[in-house]
A and B are shown apart, each in its own frame.
Chain A
């Protein structure tokens, strides 16, 4: 089984690599199209700034490859945001895999920005959070968030509820860092590794579980 980590200027590549090694998986770090397309599953990490990351992806043609992948793909943190349509971070057009806008948290007296630390996942559904209890804690560090949407497969409340996990077909993404989220995070990565590359994943839509933020 071949697992590929997309190589670009993401800051958490080392941590993701180590987290996979702890699960017994040796991943290939690459930005080569043939290597990526031939992988059984693809991890798209991300720590950094949206416009710089998108520029880097465009320069290597990765912006065209990523949305057309058919095997299971997991975006992490900035990876999730880049998989959306647009980010308020330097008004950046992104990959448009998830038709969602990414917005900045507005700090208030009880909510600091960035949202940094361990917070709970609720309204869990889909393969990625199999075996996790409602309220399971995972580690977040981010100032921008994806709105709730039909693709939201878990949500977290900070200032207001936002998308902590997204899923659409073969595309999965987490706003938090599974590679830094203790046992819960390891379980999520394990779940991703166990998703069959060939299984046609149903698009998850449960309108009763989400609401649009105004």
Chain B
């Protein structure tokens, strides 16, 4: 049986991990490679690296980082953040990334999704959708969720699927950072409306929230950052909890 995936997300700036991390047994807490290895050993099913580096020089370090991560870990990982061209994607995939996620660039130029799917295959094209409920509807936002667009979230999800996306990373800006749980209704709606996998993101605070997003929310995978980084929830404990709730998870 295909298992539900648990995906820790690492925010990267200039090649180091951004969010304050307080791990024991890690030589260098800010080193994304060490952190990635730790999560892989703890049973993470995949990892996402989100690059928030602004400068061109900083972005060059990303490709080198991807190479080091690919060498160090034996689970799949996605790289996202500021990716805007076929050349960007090609460099990251050649360095060993399994998937790339595009966000604002897809909104600006939807054909990019088609081009990437044709060039590299749908399996490595993740479209990240940041969504917020405004004026009575779910609308796609860009620029880290700050800028609203005209796009309606559900329609956009269907469109990127039709254009060849292999997966959708859905982040609710309404729930992100609240620790009050994922956006269940919207996630379930999109999961029912498209036939590609949905990764739910934003709002994880308890193990129960993961259970809900996999049942009520119909998500295929769930992503979280701070609750893992700050050790509020440990991966082995989370998986044991979900298994007890009869949710299929990968256990060694």
Contact = CB atoms under 8 A, between A and B. Distances in A.
Are these two chains actual partners, yes or no? yes
Interface of A: 11-12, 14-15, 18-19, 21-22, 47-49, 107, 109, 112-120, 137, 139, 141-143, 157-158, 177, 179-183, 185-186
B240 to A, nearest CB: 15
A112 B197 contact: yes
Contacts of B95: 14
B4 to A, nearest CB: 8
Contacts, number: 92
13 contacts: A22-B71, A48-B120, A114-B122, A116-B220, A118-B5, A118-B250, A119-B3, A142-B123, A143-B122, A179-B74, A180-B75, A181-B74, A183-B252
B50 interface: no
B2 A158 contact: yes
Contact of A182 (B75, B98, B122): B75
B164 to A, nearest CB: 11
Given A15-B70, A113-B195, A182-B40, A119 B1 contact: yes
Interface of B: 1-5, 40, 45, 70-71, 74-76, 93-96, 98, 120-124, 166-167, 192, 195-197, 220-221, 250-252
B96 to A, nearest CB: 4
A92 to B, nearest CB: 14
A80 B251 CA distance: 26
A116 B166 contact: yes
Contacts of A177: 76
Most chain B CB neighbours (cut-off 10 Å) among A12, A117, A157, A180? A117
B94 A14 contact: yes
Most chain B CB neighbours (cut-off 10 Å) among A114, A118, A186? A118
B196 A114 contact: yes
Nearest to B3: A118
B1 A157 contact: yes
Nearest to B118: A49
A15 B5 CA distance: 20
B250 A47 contact: no
Contact of A21 (B71, B124, B252): B71
Nearest to A12: B98
B124 A11 contact: yes
B74 A11 contact: no
Contacts of B75: 139, 180-182
Contacts of A19: 74
B70 A18 contact: yes
A158 B197 CA distance: 14
Contact of B121 (A47, A109, A181): A47
Contact of B96 (A15, A118, A141, A143): A15
A115 B3 CA distance: 11
A107 B196 CA distance: 9
Given A15-B70, A48-B120, A113-B196, 14 more contacts: A14-B94, A18-B96, A21-B71, A112-B220, A118-B2, A118-B250, A139-B76, A141-B76, A141-B166, A142-B123, A158-B2, A182-B75, A182-B252, A185-B74
Contacts of B166: 114, 116, 141
Contact of B70 (A11, A14, A183): A14
A47 B75 CA distance: 16
Given A15-B98, A116-B166, A181-B74, A47 B3 contact: no
Contact of B93 (A11, A116, A143): A11
Contacts of B221: 117
A187 B19 CA distance: 34
Contact of B120 (A11, A117, A141): A11
A142 B196 CA distance: 12
B138 to A, nearest CB: 21
B74 A115 contact: no
